[in-house]
């Protein structure tokens, strides 16, 4: 179940989405390549917060990808876990995250904290060529863990220039 509610800080969006309880997590955004500058590198980032009563978000890393038209760019893994910003959470659940990394065999990227207080997860990078005319799809999914999760507050997907 995803609840849409009024944003508490009204920075960029009037509303944000909050995952209350879900077994699968699939967040996808699209943008027309014509809306972006040609011959330019971009990065896509999921902008989110984690509520104080969040659960199940660190059971398995998320898969992230960017697709340009019918081209799927390299898939990455990232975690929604922000234990660096929540020391007590790290104390109680840090071993679980470590064991999960051993089991899955990945070292997923951790989110970084933004100046505005939100967290961001790097989804992927892409290049807009002069001849690109299709949609750019950006996605974050966690569909393999089969664990109930909640407390993820999503502001949106931010696309910005890469240096």
Q: Which domain holds residue 103?
A: 24-144+156-161
Question: Does the residue 11 lie in any domain?
Answer: no
Domain count, the chain: 1
Question: What DSSP letter does each residue of 53-67 carry, written as one string?
Answer: EEESTTSSPEEEEEE
pLDDT tier for residue 96 given thresholds of 50, 70 and 90 = low
Question: Does the residue 3 lie in any domain?
Answer: no
Question: Does the residue 127 lie in any domain?
Answer: yes
SS3 22: strand
Residue 7: predicted pLDDT? 43
pLDDT tens per residue, range 11-38: 566 778 888 888 888 999 999 999 999 9
Question: Does the residue 38 lie in any domain?
Answer: yes
Question: Does the residue 5 lie in any domain?
Answer: no
Question: Does the residue 4 lie in any domain?
Answer: no
Report the chain's terminal Cα–Cα distance, integer Å: 38
pLDDT tier for residue 89 given thresholds of 50, 70 and 90 = low
Question: Does the residue 151 lie in any domain?
Answer: no
């Amino acid at each position: 179940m995803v609840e849409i509610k009024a944003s508490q800080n009204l920075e960029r969006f009037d509303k944000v989405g909050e995952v209350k309880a879900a077994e699968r997590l699939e967040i996808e955004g699209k943008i027309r390549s014509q809306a972006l500058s040609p011959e330019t590198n971009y990065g896509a980032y999921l902008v989110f917060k984690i509520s104080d009563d969040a659960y199940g978000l660190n059971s398995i890393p998320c898969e992230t990808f960017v697709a340009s038209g019918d081209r799927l760019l390299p898939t990455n893994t990232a975690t929604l876990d922000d234990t660096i910003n929540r020391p007590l959470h790290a104390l109680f659940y840090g071993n679980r995250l470590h064991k999960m990394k051993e089991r899955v065999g990945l070292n997923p990227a951790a989110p970084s904290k933004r100046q505005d207080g939100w967290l961001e997860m790097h989804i992927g990078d892409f290049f807009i060529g002069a001849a690109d005319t299709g949609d750019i799809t950006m996605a974050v999914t966690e569909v393999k863990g089969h664990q109930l999760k909640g407390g993820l507050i999503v502001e949106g997907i931010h696309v910005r220039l890469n240096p």
